[in-house]
């Protein structure tokens, strides 16, 4: 009888211990959304342009030759839906002319994302919807424009820092 009582207590203690371990080991994980996949700091690493049926051309080397600070640009996507461009202070004057041509107007912007598109709203209220691909730590933002019947596809490549 005494052994039966000890076994019941032992079973109850083990059950309470197991339930406690399971309850505390299960943490709530954040839902992975397209937007949450973009959160982080991304360094600009490539720039290509393709016009109509012409071959794609790499302009990163040319741009960084004339604007060496261009390769120091980083974009920071926050979990609050903000995208900020980070330009080192020594590069501010050098990149002032190009900034407005970058996604989000080259400054702070709000963003939302689907699986294939980023919607950026600049501080002046202008909105851009850009295609993107994300593979591992490589992000490509693709802007397609047609002007005077000429289709131009500009691709900015980023590496997650």
Rounded-to-integer distance, Cα 106 and Cα 41, Å: 15
* Average pLDDT in the chain: 80
Strand partners, 157: 46, 140
CATH, domain range 34-160? 2.40.128.540
Statement: the pTM of the whole predicted model exceeds 0.85: no
| CA-derived radius of gyration, the chain | 25
Query: Which token pair is 20?
Result: 């406690």
CA angle 136, 48, 110 (to 5 degrees): 60
89-100 pLDDT per residue, tens:
777 776 665 554
């Amino acid at each position: 009888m005494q052994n039966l009582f000890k076994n019941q207590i032992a079973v109850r203690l083990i059950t309470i211990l197991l339930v406690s371990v399971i309850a505390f080991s299960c943490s709530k994980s954040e839902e992975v959304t397209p937007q949450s996949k973009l959160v982080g700091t991304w360094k600009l690493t490539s720039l290509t342009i393709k016009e109509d049926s012409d071959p794609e051309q790499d302009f990163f080397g040319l741009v960084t030759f004339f604007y060496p600070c261009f390769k120091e640009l980083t974009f920071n996507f926050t979990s609050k839906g903000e995208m900020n461009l980070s330009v080192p202070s020594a590069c501010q004057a050098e990149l002032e002319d190009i900034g407005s041509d970058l996604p989000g107007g080259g400054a702070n912007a709000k963003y939302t994302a689907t699986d294939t598109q980023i919607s950026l709203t600049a501080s002046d209220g202008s909105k851009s919807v850009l295609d993107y691909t994300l593979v591992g730590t490589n992000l490509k933002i693709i802007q397609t424009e047609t002007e005077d019947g000429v289709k131009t596809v500009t691709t900015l490549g980023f590496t997650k820092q």
